[in-house]
């Protein structure tokens, strides 16, 4: 791992999933602007390298991953210690210690922050993820805007321009709306005259094929196997609408300003949801928080029925055709954030 001889190296740890990466884009861009002369390295799973570089906020990727959401070892770092290391991975000592093991000249972390700070960073459990990391950086004098989350248009052509992208998968079962409900939604959208395509991750072929069979979708509209990021990004950027659970594809729709319907269950959209605009609709039934990594569908997610999700999708599609916004602020189906 090398940087131009005249540039100091800055290492950021965010070795999580696609949604986590995209939620951190405002913070990463704040770091990029604050340290224009540094060579910015992002520790992240290698499968997300293309997505990370597409943000324009990092110069290089340090491959780093661990099972589930554990903190990976950063043993692929080579050369001198980082001049600056920033922990955007979490608020515990594990991620702080992984960076500290590289002996950086300076380390910014929630865990054991610099005692010279006039006020240390505060971890607020009910804060939105994008705002959390921007506020964290602000404590260190680094300005970041939570709204700075757009990705540039991808170079690749879309495999299905103008389609409605339905994505039934999610990393955990607790965030997966039932296959039969996704199929019912897809059937209704096709009946209404919309081109529907299905997508899934590399390990989700069985789920995607199940939904396709239930919805009677032709094989050409089933994009299985996990699209490479460039093609997936183009698909979303040029889609008419994205419908998914609380997963990375929902964040990608926000990054490309593509209208979206996102189905939330164990985690509130106040923590991970889209901006409250007329073109992103978060469906959520308030209730006690669940396990975002659970192995059964979350009860709150199951309270969203097929007719409700279909009506939301059709309304967004109609508004796109007319150029009007279908949802006033008080119609977004997300209640007020908890205190």
pLDDT single digits (tens) 21-62: 999 999 999 999 999 999 999 999 999 999 999 999 999 999
- Contacts of 158 by beta carbon, 8 Å cutoff, 6+ apart: 234, 235, 237, 238, 239
Instruction: Kindly compute the dihedral angle of the four CA atoms of residues 156, 157, 162, 168, in this order, to the nearest 10 degrees.
Output: -50
pLDDT in tens, 208-242: 999 999 999 999 999 999 999 999 999 999 999 99
CB atoms within 10 A of CB 95: 24
Looking at residue 336, its pLDDT comes to: 35
d(CA 188, CA 21): 33
- pLDDT tier at 337, thresholds 50, 70, 90: very low
Q: How far apart are CA 237 and CA 157, in angstroms?
A: 10
Q: How far is CA 124 from CA 97, 127, 135, 148, 193, in A?
A: 21, 5, 10, 21, 45
Say what the pTM is: 0.92
Give CA–CA dist 331/277, Å, rounded.
Answer: 10
Structure tokens at 142: 């680094």
pLDDT in the model for residue 338: 36
- Please tell me the distance from the alpha carbon of residue 149 to that of residue 131, in angstroms, as a whole number: 11
pLDDT tens digits for range 261-288? 999 999 999 999 999 877 999 999 998 8
Q: How far, in whole angstroms, is CA 88 from its chain's centroid?
A: 14
Q: Would residue 18 be called left, alpha or beta, if left means φ above 0 and alpha means ψ between -120 and 50 degrees?
A: alpha
Question: Could you read off the pLDDT of 136-171 as tens digits, one per residue?
Answer: 999 999 999 999 999 999 999 999 999 999 999 998
In the block, tokens 């959401």 appear at 69
Higher pLDDT, 83 or 113: 83
Residue 322 has pLDDT above 90, yes or no: no
pLDDT computed for residue 327 by the predictor? 44
Rg (CA), the chain: 20
3-state secondary structure of 202: coil
Q: Are 34 and 264 in contact (CB under 8 A)?
A: no
- Token readout for 229 is 């990021």
Q: So what's the pLDDT on residue 17?
A: 95
> How far is 323 from 8, CA to CA, in rounded Å?
48
**DSSP character at residue 243:** E
**Cβ-contact 96, 107 below 8 angstroms:** yes
Count Cα atoms within 13 angstroms, Cβ side, for 34.
18
Question: How does residue 114 score in pLDDT terms, banded at 50, 70 and 90?
Answer: confident
**Spatial contact of 102 and 82, defined as CB atoms under 8 Å apart:** yes
Q: How much of the chain exceeds pLDDT 90, in percent?
A: 85
Q: What is the mean pLDDT of the chain?
A: 92
User: Pick the residue with more confidence: 1 or 150?
Assistant: 150
Q: What is the pLDDT of residues 298-320, one digit of tens each?
A: 999 999 999 999 999 999 999 87
Q: Are 250 and 260 in contact (CB under 8 A)?
A: yes
| pLDDT at residue 328 in the model | 36
What is the reported pLDDT for 321?
76
Question: Which pLDDT score is estimated for 324?
Answer: 56
179 three-state secondary structure: helix
Q: What mean pLDDT do residues 84-112 have? A: 95
Q: What is the pLDDT of residues 185-194, one digit of tens each?
A: 999 999 999 9
Cβ proximity of 10 and 40 under 8 Å: yes
Give 3's pLDDT tier (boundaries 50, 70, 90).
low
82-91, 94-103, 114-123, 260-269: the lowest-pLDDT one = 114-123
């Amino acid at each position: 791992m090398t940087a131009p001889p005249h540039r100091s190296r800055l290492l950021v740890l965010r070795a999580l999933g696609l949604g986590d990466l995209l939620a951190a884009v405002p913070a990463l861009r704040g770091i990029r602007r604050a340290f224009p002369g540094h060579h910015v390295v992002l520790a992240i799973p290698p499968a997300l390298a293309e997505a990370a570089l597409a943000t324009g906020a990092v110069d290089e990727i340090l491959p780093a991953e661990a099972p589930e959401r554990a903190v990976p070892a950063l043993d692929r770092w080579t050369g001198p210690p980082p001049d600056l290391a920033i922990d955007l991975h979490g608020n515990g000592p594990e991620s702080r210690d992984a960076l500290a093991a590289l002996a950086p000249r300076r380390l910014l972390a929630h865990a054991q922050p610099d005692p010279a700070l006039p006020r240390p960073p505060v971890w607020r459990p009910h804060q939105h993820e994008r705002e959390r990391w921007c506020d964290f950086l602000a404590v260190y004098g680094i300005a970041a805007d939570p709204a700075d989350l757009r990705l540039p248009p991808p170079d690749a052509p879309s495999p299905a321009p103008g389609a409605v992208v339905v994505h039934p998968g999610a990393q955990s079962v607790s965030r997966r709306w039932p296959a039969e409900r996704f199929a019912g939604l897809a059937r209704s959208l096709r009946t209404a005259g919309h081109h529907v395509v299905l997508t899934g991750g590399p390990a989700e072929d069985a789920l995607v094929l199940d939904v396709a069979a239930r919805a009677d979708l032709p094989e050409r509209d089933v994009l299985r196997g996990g699209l490479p990021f460039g093609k997936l990004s183009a698909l979303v950027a040029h889609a008419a609408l994205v419908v998914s659970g609380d997963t990375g594809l929902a964040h990608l729709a926000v990054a490309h300003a593509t209208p979206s319907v996102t189905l939330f269950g164990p985690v509130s959209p106040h923590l991970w949801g889209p901006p409250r605009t007329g073109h992103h609709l978060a469906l959520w039934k308030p209730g006690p928080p669940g396990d975002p990594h659970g192995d059964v569908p979350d009860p709150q997610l199951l309270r969203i029925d097929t007719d409700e999700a279909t009506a939301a999708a059709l309304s967004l599609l109609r508004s796109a055709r007319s150029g009007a916004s279908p949802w006033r602020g008080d119609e977004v189906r997300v209640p007020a954030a908890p205190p």
